[in-house]
Amino acid sequence: MTLAAAIVLIAFATALSPAALGGGRVSGTLLRPDLVDLRPKGLTLDIRHSGTRRLRFSTFTVNIGAGPMELRSRQLDCDGNGDTSDDRTAVQHTYLDANTDGVFERGTDTASTAHVAGCFAFDAKHGHWHFGDFSMFALLDPGTGDVVAQHRKVGFCLIDDGPTDPNLPGAPSGPFYDSCALDATQGISIGWTDVYPAWLPSQWINVTDVQPGRFCLAVTVDPANRLRESNDSNNTTFRLIRIARSKVVDVAPTC
């Protein structure tokens, strides 16, 4: 390895070190988030003039963990194109329980660990910055579990849209994460939900070639397992539906 190459590698490693990312050498119990998707609602069949049929639905991602899901933005090249203006590196910060009471308190539990979780990129259709690969939508055969159709790895802006379980320990009384702007800190507070309505871009699965019948609609948060949570086994929610030529019908709340 040349001296110049070694210097580049050292610089890159330093830029991604916990201290440089805003974390540090800390010890104690981590107050990890736990993201789950509530069952999708507002299912409709969007039939276009071209004949394209899209299954649309609203998604609801709630944090039921002991700590917030927090993603901070760093101006580091994330997509490898050498340009630091068209993307941002997303760094997940997980807070530590300073007073060992098991409850997140923003003014008390200030130390955190830092973990590079992925990339932020500007979504022109939504008009704001998204964290990539946050969700995945799939239509499954309820008998075999085979994928019939899917919309892979959808980007979201993580914000507090509304409280779902305000009685969870550490849940704030109001929204804390409320911006999708460049370099904003995104996240979902304890007991709060990030809502993506059915009418928004990318809230669909293309079912043009899907024959009428019963299917299992699966919504998965963090499909690439890039985020650190207390529980990764509850990241997918299911709903049994029936698709006809011109409409979609709810059959059961699970498959």
Residue 23's pLDDT band (boundaries 50, 70, 90)? Answer: low
Reported pTM: 0.87
Q: Write the pLDDT tens digit of every residue in 50-59.
A: 889 999 999 9
Least confident of 103-112, 124-133, 166-175, 184-193: 124-133
Q: Write the pLDDT tens digit of every residue in 199-250.
A: 998 899 999 999 999 999 999 999 999 999 999 999 999 999 999 988 999 8
pLDDT reported for residue 159? 97
**10 has pLDDT over 60:** no
pLDDT reported for residue 16? 52
**177 has pLDDT over 50:** yes
Q: Write the pLDDT tens digit of every residue in 54-82.
A: 999 999 999 999 999 999 999 988 888 88
Average pLDDT of span 16-28: 52
Average pLDDT of span 179-201: 94
Secondary structure element (H or E) that encloses residue 208, with its range: none
DSSP 25: S
* % helix, strand, coil for the chain, step of 5: 5, 45, 50
Collapse the DSSP code of 8 into the 3-class scheme (helix H, G, I; strand E, B; otherwise coil) and give the result. Answer: helix
pLDDT reported for residue 254? 86
CA distance 177 to 188: 7
Strand partners, 130: 121
Q: Which of 244, 219, 208, 213 is nearest to 41 (CA)?
A: 219
Residue 2's pLDDT band (boundaries 50, 70, 90)? Answer: very low
pLDDT reported for residue 14? 40
Q: What is the DSSP string of 137-192?
A: EEEE-TTT--EEEEEEEEEE-----EES-TTSTT--SS-S----STTPPEEE-TTE
Residue given tokens 């799939």 in the structure block: 138
Q: Write the pLDDT tens digit of every residue in 92-138.
A: 999 999 999 999 999 999 999 999 999 999 888 878 899 989 999 99
